[in-house]
A and B are shown apart, each in its own frame.
Chain A
Amino acid sequence: MDSKIQIVSIVGAAILLLAILDLVRRRRLLERYALLWLLAAVVVLGLAIWRDGLEEIASAVGVAYPPNALFLIAFGFILLLLLHFSTAVSKLADQSKILAQRQALLEERLREAEEKLGDPEKVEEWQTT
């Protein structure tokens, strides 16, 4: 394999790995979302360094030029990460819906309580219910 592309791959993957670790260290990235990223960076870095392994994988899946196998693997991880984010966004959307509903229900309860507190006779009624 061309040593130039190997160096580029190693440097790129190493920078990615360090950037992810730094984001986690600075608490900008939650560990649960960092895991898939770390796995991707480690695998790509590992294959960039271990040329024999990459060449074996390339011939096994029928890729003529081994660095392309590296891109294929990286592409697979990107798809996986995007899917992971779509599920994370869906979950957030669902949770924010529930929060909005709970908030509206609470606000209405507060309005109801305030209405009853405004009227001394109703305060008693409210306290007994």
Chain B
Amino acid sequence: MRELVWERGRAQLGVLAAVLAVMIAGSALVGACVLLTTASPQRALQLAMVHAPDPDVQVSVALGFPEDPNDSSIDARIAATARDASAAVAQASSMLTKPFGALPTTLTTWTSTVMEYLPDTGDALRLGYLAELDDRDARGTLTAGRWPTAPGEVALPASSAQALRLPVGSTTSLAATGGGQGAELHVVGTFVPRPAAAWDEDPLDGTGIGPNYRGYISAYGPFVVAPGQLAVSGVPLRRVTLRAQPDLTHASAAELTRAGAAVNALSGDLSSALGGLTQNLVVDRPYQRTLDDARLQRGVTGSGVLAVALMGGALAATTVVLAARLVAARRAPEAALLTARGTSRSRLVAQAAVEAGALVLLCVVPATLLALLLYRLLADAVGLGPTGVPEDGIVPLVAVVALVSLVLGCLLVLPWLRSGSPRGTREDRVGVVARSGADLLLIALAVLAYFQLRDHGISAGATADPVLVVAPVLCLLAGAALTLRPLPLLARRADARAASSRSLALPLAAWGVARRRQGAAAAFLMVLATACATFGVGFAATWSQSQRDQAAATVGTDLSVPARLDALGAGAAIRTATGGRVSPVTSRVVTLGSRVQRGDGVRLVAVDTRDADALLRGRPSSGTWSDTTAGLAPTGPVGGVQLTGTSADLVVTGRVEDRVPMNADLSLVVQDADGARAGLPAGTVPLDGAPHPLAVAVPAGVRLVGVNARLTAVGDAGDPDQQSSTDVTIDVMVHGATLPAGGTWSVALTPSDDYVVASLDRITAAEVPGGVRLTLDGSASLPGIYWSDGVLTALAFTPVEQVPVVVSRRLADDLGLKVGQGVQLKLDLTPVIARVRAITDYVPSQPRAAALLADVDTLSRAALTQGSLTTLTDAWWVGGTIPAGAAETLEAQGLGPATERSAVAQESADGPLRAGLRAAAALLVVAAIALALVGTALHSTTALEARELDVARLHGLGAPRRSVLASVLTEQAVFTGVPLLAGGLLGALACWAIGPLLAVSAQGLAPVPPAVVRWPMTLQAGIVVALLLGCAALVVPLAARAVRRATIAQLRMDAAS
């Protein structure tokens, strides 16, 4: 038997080499995909972690202590630690850095004390606190003096120093009780917190001032002490935060994984060790989240790659089945002879198995090498960098390749297992029924998989999702089977028409197409391969576009920069750096109606909607963003007072009709050129009829758009039962200012449901020599003004009582909101009525959140109307083409970190954790084309060899060779062309039907906005044309050779055939 197999193999070397090539290609394709799902993700994970922003790979622990450790209810150990936390800090430091092992890790510490009272100045209580910074230069820039170095020395934020009138060289103190005596603090420096540095731990978020921090008591600080001095200051600790920042530049995948496991256990370990020493302990593990997120992305990408591997495997299997059938058909006479001479079927099967086994053995090594080569090429192409042998070694790869080769080898034996031999050209009924049943089963499975995919939330895990992997393959296989169904019907029509034709060539082709049975397997392969190739490019384009759309929806604009602490005027610097359309943006969690604010609470995004299309990115539900946001922007102009220079020089003169002693704490609301507004404290003046100069530092070019005076009575109320009111007049002379044309000054709304302590009746603005005079005429209630502050607020625009908003579909569904409905939202504590103007699928930058979109100007006016001076500028958005390097420029100016839509899109589509999918899709396209051509070559060679006898017969009957060639070519053109075109259509259909369902987010969620089909028509048509041309290049010479070789000798041998 071995001799027969050997000799036959030698005689049929060509066809066996082709079969071997198909097996190698198929096994290598699957092997490369497996590497992309195993070795590549390890590398991708490594790259993703290495390139992640520092905050995303930190680990931190915050130790919280009670406000009053002397309280008897406080545990003694906690109280002791609050006074001296050095041991706890040392232990936490050790535990925090331990997970990173030998990786270089930087530990930073924030330590701050409880709030204590600043010296009483007679008007209002004020709080302050101490802090110790371990890297002072990184956290702040000195504006005056120096950093403290000795006991009792402090440095404080410039804003605190200005508000408290504590210049360098001055002294103050902090006491545990109001009016108490505390240790003296010498101010030796002032600084501006650096925006890039984390001030999250600071109770005042680095602003230096916390108005109404505790009720109406404002807080100031931190008062930064010299290193090591906090422990001896005698002020109890309130908060200690330790942050470990590993340097992952040279971390291996294994180290990252080990660190991940250790970090995962950190919460429990720290709680066990330090839980009893602190009032609360919070462990934050961005490292773990980033690692988990990366693993999730790896799982989602892996699912896609495995789906591609499965498609490639199916293609290879189809090609091998075709090859096996062709080989069996070629050997049918030999098999018949052997059978006639007594050879049993099992022996024929054994011969085929021996041959298949030899091919499997020959396949494994080259397929493994080819898989490694393909993987290296792909990994390099998608930016995973140089990749050597996978970390797990090549044994798993060899095992996979061997398994695939074995499966393909088994397919080679299949035709020999079928009982009976093909006898006639008419299909036997049993075969037809069996195939129909298999097709129906396949279609049923595909329909099931499709609906599963459509309704599917992709399983969010680090492993491949079975639906995502199997559904596309089933759909394509079923589609290919279904596509072939109508072809025989069409062929039969052509057959019927052939009967009524006078000539021979075309009818002969039609008869060949309709009646020869060997075309089915080849046609199936052609349909499937073309469908895979066109689907591959279509899906890749759809997927990439969806990632870009998702990135656009996530960022919301072209470039986003978080607003730094002093937001005013930053827009100009951003505009200079980017050249784009700049808008201040409010983006924060708000309380909406009765909805409880949670971690994923309602997000409010407010942006300048007057030019929404230039600013907002992400595909809206319908129309444009301008359409969606129509009606959100305010209509009335903003007047105000145009300030000059960088200081607002004021002279404030206040009078109280009844000479009730009162002070006015004055704040100015200013607006920069980009519409960002902020309330700036101007200072406190007595309303004693005398002029009091005030100077407020302002960015250049800003406009005064509001004045707020908080009235407080000085002294006792006298007779509390005497109800009356007194007129209050405050003149604010703004030197060097001008009054722009247009705009009106208005009175902010007075809350209707509260007891009104003070109200503003009138505001007048007039340009006078030397500047602009603003006069606020109002009244204060007596004796209410002794119990509570009264607020007078004047605005340079018409008050806005309602904010029109666009709500996200999720929010509308959650709360049952409808267009036209009003709902109250609270910006911090300021209530604002929002009116639903439209519902959209999502709000830019908050694609999955329950969110509202408003106009930032309208929102700001509404908040000011309610008397809130808090700045609403949380970020800056820039629309337009962002020049390269703009983000770096902004960061260098301390305006970062900037988030660029293009960078996020690039990361989403081509980042190390995602690129594997596109690489696999490209591999599938190439493999599909190659296998289609190999299949065509195999089929055409065999089919045309078989046709030589027919050609000789026709020639003998007087048919010219040209005519016979035309007939053969027509038949082959139909055999290959129709399946190719049908496959192209199937690929397009699959792209339309399942492409968008497969384009999930990085986390495996349904994309927002929903994916839309992207048709790379040129590429898809190019693939079909290339396949047509490739097939033609194979078939035409083969057909010509078959016609040329058909001779009379074959007529003699007819019987043998």
Verify that A and B bind, or say they do not.
Answer: no
Interface residue ranges, B against A (CB under 8 Å): none
